[in-house]
Amino acid sequence: MSVRMRIIQRFKAPHEREFMALEREFAALEASRSDYPKGRRLQPMAANAPCNSLIWEAEFTDLESAQRALDFFAGDAAHERLLERQRPFFEEVRIEFYQNLEFA
């Protein structure tokens, strides 16, 4: 059973420019290091989440692998430094896990 993990971050709309600038730094950090979990970033246009949200999502082989990615983020000093700068712009953060269904 593969799993999709989504980290949904709703940010203060007036600070979108600052929030996204920091998110670009996260993306550069992710791209520069082979040990970083790789995901993709989405911004809702017409969805359940409001437009002032950023969604980071990635596929994992199982739930344990997804949890290891979260643990990695929490234990990485470079990630934590960027997060501290981005945190004042957060309104809400939630993490969702989806089981990928394969009906072949």
Q: What is the pLDDT of residue 103?
A: 85
- The residue assigned the tokens 């643990």 is 71
User: Domain 3-99 maps to which CATH number in 3.90.550.10, 3.30.70.100, 1.20.5.510, 3.60.15.10?
Assistant: 3.30.70.100
Q: What is the pLDDT of residue 1?
A: 80
Q: What is the pLDDT of residue 11?
A: 98
Percentage of the chain exceeding pLDDT 90:
96
Specify which residues 99 forms β-bridges with.
Answer: 3
Q: How many CA atoms lie within 13 A of 103 on its CB side?
A: 0
Q: What is the pLDDT of residue 16?
A: 97
Per-residue pLDDT of the chain (104 residues; tens, 9 = 90+): 899 999 999 999 999 999 999 999 999 999 999 999 999 999 999 999 999 999 999 999 999 999 999 999 999 999 999 999 999 999 999 999 999 998 87
Q: What is the DSSP letter of 43?
A: -
Q: What is the pLDDT of residue 104?
A: 74
Q: Report yes or no: 54 and 23 within 8 Å, Cβ to Cβ.
A: yes
